[in-house]
């Protein structure tokens, strides 16, 4: 088992062992940061502080899960980037497009470990046989996390051979995880017309059940048609489609 990350260590040090005990405001307070909620224009959350104390302000107009992720993201900045005055926009927080060295991504990863710590998610994931939307939503509800954040965490565990792929009308926006599968399993930039995701995005089709698809509907490499993948797509805000692809075992090196 790997060593706990900084976010997980913060929970362990406070003796927190159950999802319902993850009280982010109390955790922030223990580390000298006070959380308040106000209507914000132009940014989603901000942190202002000196070496010891900080005030985290989160946009009160956002939904519960979004506010929660924003608080955890700012606690991440407080832990990782102390002393900086940071204003985080809606695009900065919870954006899987940032690369791993980007401070916003570091704060996002910290937030993910605080809200969905591996040591609590993993034992629950072991009881999940297939990553269905219903199973993800149940887990997300227990952790007061969004469906997308929960899926990103599940995809990073080594339990399921799943890849998340997000498209909008311009093409591929992001995919995750990028380091678990053999390098040639990179999703196509443009959606293939035979995918359900394409039908949802361009022809307004309803959310489908999981479907088996030929591999070359999603991947461009030579021989992709020899494998099948399972596609399950759903809508995200902003005219985006997120697809859970279940890949064949041989995609994992
Ligand atoms: Zn930020």
Each residue of 165-200: pLDDT tens digit? Answer: 999 999 999 999 988 999 999 999 999 999 999 999
Decide if 135 is inside a domain. no
- CATH classification at residue 67: 1.10.10
Q: Which of 118, 153, 173 is the last residue of a domain?
A: 118
The boundaries of the domain holding residue 214 are: 161-253
3-state class (DSSP) for residue 176: strand
**Cα of 71 to ligand 1 centre, how many Å?**
10
Give distance in angstroms: CA of 76 to centre of ligand 1. 8
* Cα–ligand 1 centroid distance for 18 (angstroms): 26
pLDDT of 207 reads 73
Residues 76 and 170 in one domain: no
DSSP states along 18-39: SGGG--HHHHHHHTTEEEEEE-
Question: Does residue 21 sit within a domain?
Answer: yes
Provide the residues around ligand 1 (an ion) whose CB is within 5 A.
88, 92, 104, 107
Answer whether residue 253 is part of any domain. Answer: yes
Together in a domain, 96 and 13: yes
Distance from the alpha carbon of residue 123 to the mean position of ligand 1, in angstroms:
30
Phi, psi of 114 (to 5 degrees): -80, -40
What is the 41 CA–ligand 1 centroid distance (Å)?
15
Q: Which of 25, 140, 17, 6 is nearest to 71 (CA)?
A: 25
Within a domain: residue 146?
no
> In this structure, is residue 17 part of a structural domain?
yes
How many structural domains is the chain composed of? 2
Cα gap 177→174, rounded to integer Å? 10
pTM of the model: 0.93
Q: Would you tell me how many other CB atoms lie within 10 Å of the CB of residue 207?
A: 12
Centre of ligand 1 from the C-alpha of residue 43, in Å: 10
Domain boundary among 60, 85, 118: 118
Whether 167 and 229 share a structural domain: yes
Do 99 and 175 reside in the same domain of the chain?
A: no
Question: What are the distances in angstroms from CA 161 to CA 5, 93, 176, 211, 230?
Answer: 23, 26, 11, 16, 11
Q: How far is the CA of 107 from the centre of ligand 1 (A)?
A: 6
Tell whether 179 and 91 lie within a shared domain: no
pLDDT by residue for the chain (253 residues), tens digit each? 689 999 999 999 999 999 999 999 999 999 999 999 999 998 999 999 988 999 999 999 999 999 999 999 999 999 999 877 889 999 999 999 999 899 999 999 999 999 999 999 999 999 999 999 999 999 999 999 999 999 999 999 989 999 999 999 999 999 999 889 999 999 999 999 999 999 999 998 887 789 999 999 999 999 999 999 999 999 998 899 999 999 998 898 8
Q: How far apart are CA 239 and CA 228, in angstroms?
A: 27
Asked if 113 and 185 sit in the same domain, the reply is: no
Residue 66, φ and ψ in degrees, nearest 5? -65, -45
**Rounded Cα distance, 5 and 159, in Å:** 19
What is the SS3 assignment for 212?
Answer: strand
Asked whether residue 141 is domain-assigned, the answer is: no
Q: How far is the CA of 87 from the centre of ligand 1 (A)?
A: 7
The β-bridge partners of 245 are 163, 231
* pLDDT for the residue 92: 94
Q: Are 82 and 166 part of one and the same domain?
A: no
Where is the domain boundary, 118, 145, 179?
118
Distance of alpha carbon 26 from alpha carbon 33, whole angstroms: 9
Q: How far is the CA of 74 from the centre of ligand 1 (A)?
A: 6
Residues 23 and 101 in one domain: yes
pLDDT of 205: 85
User: What is the Å distance from ligand 1's center to 26 Cα?
Assistant: 20
CA 61 to chain centre: 21
How far apart are the CA of 231 and the centre of ligand 1, in A? 32
- Is there a domain that residue 123 lies in? no
Distance 101 CA to ligand 1 centre (A): 13
Distance, CA of 220 to CA of 106 (rounded, Å): 31
CA of 192 to the centre of ligand 1 (A): 34
Residue 96 CA to ligand 1 centre (angstroms): 13
In a domain, 54, yes or no: yes
In this structure, the answer to whether residues 165 and 114 fall within a common structural domain is no
The verdict on 51 and 112 lying in the same domain is yes
Assess whether 105 and 186 both reside in one domain.
Answer: no
Residues 110 and 180 in one domain: no
Distance 198 CA to ligand 1 centre (A): 32
Instruction: Report d(CA 153, CA 189) in Å as an integer.
Output: 23
Contact 108, 73 (CB under 8 A): yes
Position 184 scores a pLDDT of 94
Burial of 100 (0-12, 13-18, 19+ CB in 10 A): exposed
């Amino acid at each position: 088992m790997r060593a706990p990350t900084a976010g997980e260590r913060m929970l362990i040090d406070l003796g927190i062992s159950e999802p319902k005990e993850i009280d982010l405001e109390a955790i922030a307070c223990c580390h000298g940061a006070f959380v308040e909620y106000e209507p914000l224009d132009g940014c989603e959350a901000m942190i202002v502080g000196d070496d010891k104390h900080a005030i985290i302000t989160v946009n009160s107009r956002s939904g519960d899960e979004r506010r929660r992720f924003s608080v955890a993201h700012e606690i991440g900045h407080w832990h990782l980037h102390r002393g900086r005055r940071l204003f985080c926009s809606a695009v900065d927080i919870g954006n899987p497009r940032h690369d791993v060295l980007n401070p916003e991504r570091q704060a996002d990863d910290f937030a993910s470990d605080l809200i969905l710590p591996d040591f609590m998610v993993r034992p629950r994931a072991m009881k999940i046989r297939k990553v269905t939307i219903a199973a993800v939503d149940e887990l997300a509800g227990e952790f007061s996390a969004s469906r997308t954040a929960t899926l990103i965490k599940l995809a990073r565990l080594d339990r399921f051979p799943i890849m998340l792929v997000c498209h909008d009308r311009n093409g591929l926006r992001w995919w995750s995880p990028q380091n678990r599968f053999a390098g040639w399993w990179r999703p196509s930039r443009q959606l293939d017309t035979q995918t359900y995701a394409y039908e949802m995005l361009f022809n307004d089709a309803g959310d489908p059940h999981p479907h088996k698809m030929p591999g070359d509907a999603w991947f461009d490499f030579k021989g992709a048609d020899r494998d099948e993948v399972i596609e399950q797509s759903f809508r995200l805000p902003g005219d985006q489609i997120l697809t859970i692809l279940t890949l064949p075992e041989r995609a994992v090196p």
